[in-house]
A and B are shown apart, each in its own frame.
Chain A
Amino acid sequence: MAKEIMTTNRAVAEAVKLAKPQVVPVYPITPQTTISEYLAQFVADGDLDAEYIRVESEHSAISATLGASEAGVRVFTATSSQGLMLMHEILFAAAGMRAPIVMADANRAISAPLNIWNDQQDSIAQRDAGWIQLYVENAQEGFDTILQAYRIAEHEEVMLPVMVCLDGFILTHTVEPVDLLEQAEVDSFLEPYVPKFAYLDPERPMSLGNFADPTYYTEARHNMQVAMDKSMEVIKEVGAEFGERFGREYGLTESYLCDDAEIILVCMGSMASTVRYVVDQLREKGEKVGLLKIRSYRPFPFEEIDEIVKNADKLAVLDKNFSFGIGGALFADLKAKCHKETYGFILGLGGRDVIPEYIEEAVELTKNPVKEVTWLGLKEDE
């Protein structure tokens, strides 16, 4: 199919339409809103045969989504920022109940102060909920990842919800060419969902969301970790199959010029495009730098990362989030799981532009470190 020009939100909505969810409960929030609007229009036009529920909050969006998923149908919802925060409790329930929900999160800063622009604090704050988190770099990846997300979530040995994270405005509201797939192509890749572990059918009564005492709780949570481990393999398999079918391959990570790099810049989401540009610029100057883009933040593919960074001297980790008292989340994870000299850089908070100069500065400060964690572009008091 010919490429069309569209935002990542539009690309996500197009992918959702092709995945044919039966129930879509959504609540508007900037910068996710256009996803819910496109889906509403698809339903209104009869292009998507789904029950669209105009819920009264994100809390109810995820609750209705979970209820529908447990009743045995494919579902979709989308949110952002404060909305994701409001969903927090039910995100854990969704993962614990092993509901194969696919949700898009338009990454946006968290209040206070109130801010509608991009960073990744919202999804990072949900990293322990038991959801698979995939970060996308552009509109095409947004489209492709939604389709893969259903395959991953609904895999019998995974059965965990998947959050597809899109940088707010930078992706959600920026138009790019996107290669859409035909319905028949998607149907051959993604079959209808047939519930095996949870349904609400009076012919075969099940009780779901039960009360588990100390005898069972630990094993229930451990089962989730087993599934999360398994999902690494599944993400790779599904990404490879997608590549075979449609020519665009995906994995847990994506590396660029890492083999001989002395310093590897590590990041997630749209920032990878800027970093790739800076890597090219610095390579022209003879600097041995590379890019490691983390696509799957949960599960965290540390063994694969270890392999990619094995020849490098140092890692420069770029985080659009901050865990107070320690540093960026990605930085902390890499420090904990990979055996490299690692420096963390905080940038792009609340929509501040991630400019090439900041990335060059991160490389400089990794070569000649002053401290472990640096906030780039910080305006000091006069």
Chain B
Amino acid sequence: MVSIGCAISEPGSTRKNKTGSWRTFKPILDKDACVDCNNCLMFCPEGCVNKDHDIDYDYCKGCGICKEECPVQAIKMEIE
């Protein structure tokens, strides 16, 4: 049954859609090299890097912005 006016009362429910399946290249962070600049966290279009810089591969689309914006090249992209 479609809701009245197609209103959605479950905020953030796109989380059901695991966009990690879109990915071709996977970002791998070398935490030892990380300088905590937070660029990866700030610039991720999916918001799937947390404050400890763990990447949520359920949603990561593999765009590579985090790799590109990492000032110390601590992230590399690996083909899946």
Is B one of A's binding partners? yes
Q: Is A91 on the interface with B (CB-CB < 8 A)?
A: no
Contact B6 A206, beta carbon cutoff 8 Å: no
> In the assembled complex, which residues on chain A have CB atoms less than 8 Å from the CB atom of B6?
96-97, 209-210, 212, 216, 220
Contact A208 B5, beta carbon cutoff 8 Å: yes
Q: Is B8 on the interface with A (CB-CB < 8 A)?
A: yes
> In the assembled complex, which residues on chain A have CB atoms less than 8 Å from the CB atom of B2?
212, 216, 219-220, 223
Q: Nearest chain B CB to A125's CB is how many angstroms away?
A: 24
Contact A204 B9, beta carbon cutoff 8 Å: yes
* B5 closest partner in A (C-beta): A98
Q: Nearest chain A CB to B3's CB is how many angstroms away?
A: 8
In the complex, per-residue mask of B1-43: 1 if CB is within 8 Å of any chain A CB, else 0: 1111111110100000000000000000000000000000000
> In the assembled complex, which residues on chain B have CB atoms less than 8 Å from the CB atom of A98?
4-5
> In the assembled complex, which residues on chain A have CB atoms less than 8 Å from the CB atom of B7?
97, 197-198, 206-208, 210
**Distance in angstroms between the alpha carbons of A209 and B4 in the assembled complex:** 11
**Distance in angstroms between the alpha carbons of A206 and B13 in the assembled complex:** 11
Contact A206 B8, beta carbon cutoff 8 Å: yes
Interface size, A (range) = 10 to 19
Contact A206 B4, beta carbon cutoff 8 Å: no
> In the assembled complex, which residues on chain B have CB atoms less than 8 Å from the CB atom of A209?
6
The number of residues on chain B lying at the interface, defined by a beta carbon within 8 Å of a beta carbon of chain A, is 10
Judged by DSSP, the binding face of B is loop
* B13 closest partner in A (C-beta): A207
Q: Is A205 on the interface with B (CB-CB < 8 A)?
A: yes
> In the assembled complex, which residues on chain A have CB atoms less than 8 Å from the CB atom of B3?
197
In the complex, per-residue mask of A192-215: 1 if CB is within 8 Å of any chain B CB, else 0: 000001100000111111101000
Contact B5 A159, beta carbon cutoff 8 Å: yes
Contact B11 A205, beta carbon cutoff 8 Å: yes
> In the assembled complex, which residues on chain B have CB atoms less than 8 Å from the CB atom of A223?
2, 4
> In the assembled complex, which residues on chain A have CB atoms less than 8 Å from the CB atom of B5?
96-99, 159, 197-198, 208, 220
**Distance in angstroms between the alpha carbons of A382 and B3 in the assembled complex:** 60
Contact B4 A159, beta carbon cutoff 8 Å: yes
**Distance in angstroms between the alpha carbons of A206 and B3 in the assembled complex:** 12
**Distance in angstroms between the alpha carbons of A237 and B3 in the assembled complex:** 25
**Distance in angstroms between the alpha carbons of A212 and B6 in the assembled complex:** 8
Which of B1, B4, B8, B11 makes the CB contact (< 8 A) with A210?
A: B8
> In the assembled complex, which residues on chain A have CB atoms less than 8 Å from the CB atom of B1?
219
In the complex, per-residue mask of A169-206: 1 if CB is within 8 Å of any chain B CB, else 0: 00000000000000000000000000001100000111
**Distance in angstroms between the alpha carbons of A58 and B5 in the assembled complex:** 23
Which parts of A306-337 form the interface with B (CB within 8 Å)? Answer: none
Which of A96, A207, A219 makes the CB contact (< 8 A) with B8?
A: A207
> In the assembled complex, which residues on chain B have CB atoms less than 8 Å from the CB atom of A198?
4-5, 7
**Distance in angstroms between the alpha carbons of A207 and B75 in the assembled complex:** 36
Residues of A within 8 A of B (CB): 96-99, 159, 197-198, 204-210, 212, 216, 219-220, 223
**Could you list some 6 contacts between A and B, CB below 8 A?**
A96-B6, A98-B4, A197-B7, A208-B5, A210-B7, A220-B5
